[in-house]
Amino acid sequence: MSQLPHSRRFLERLHAGEPTLMLTVRTSRTMDVVHIARSTGHHGIMVDLEHSTMSTDVAAQLCAAADSLGVTALVRVPEREYGMIGRVLDGGAHGIIAPRIETVEQARDVARACRFAPRGQRSQTNMVPQLGLRPMPARELNPALDDATIVQILLETPAGIANAEAIAALDGVDMLALGANDFTAELGVPGQYDDPRVREAVRTLADACRKHGKLMVLGGIGDRALLDSLVPLGVCALRITGTDTALLFEGARAHAERALAPHDR
């Protein structure tokens, strides 16, 4: 029987400070992207249902493929759509990223949707891809899945940052993340990641995570120098290398520029 190693190894790497790479999947609709992620050294994928028109079925297939290839698959669900959480977890996702969380109550609802009673309220099932779709009794399946499921709470507003410590203290929450794009937009300075309030938010989240033994993730900042300056505050070693859409654009543009460049004489 599978021991659900992917997500546990993923968290162990991060707690040990080992560089861990994740590719965001927004445009791709086949498992080719999962193979590409694995062959390029990525440890995980983030299937983005918040900013795409991808169906739940396609997301589940990508997650199941990732599981078979030893890649950890997290799904960013649409804002406040708690009913989708159980569906993507049953379909093969190793964890959930919940966007725009602002209160302890919202974070608790997410954590409880990800785990079975008595820790949560996840609807009972007995067959999941992560366990080879073998029918299993609840006494075996529930603790195995509860232990393997990753819950990341994404804080993107000043209100969310203000509640960071209480959210980090919740049972069932593994990671807190700062979404720098939306956070700077909320501050009225979209894209100005060097704003001192961003640094203070990173410090607040990192302190809360350190206190409660959780991981702090920083997303949305592509400036390597700026990111490196924030890491010492307590940012974990998860690095989102890019979105498949952006990588495709960059590759297409580079090839177009080479095709139009004058030949050396």
Q: 96: alpha, beta or left, given left = phi > 0 and alpha = psi -120 to 50?
A: beta
| Cα–Cα dist 36/33, whole Å | 5
| Among the listed residues 35, 21, 24, 36, the one whose alpha carbon sits nearest the alpha carbon of residue 68 | 35
Give ∠ CA 186-233-148 in degrees, rounded to 5: 85
- Catalytic pick among 6, 43, 51, 94: 51
- Please name every residue paired with 75 in a beta bridge, in sequence order, or none if there are none: 47, 96
| Cα–Cα dist 161/182, whole Å | 12
In contact, 260 and 252? CB cutoff 8 Å: no
Tell me, yes or no, if 51 is annotated catalytic: yes
Catalytic residue list: 51
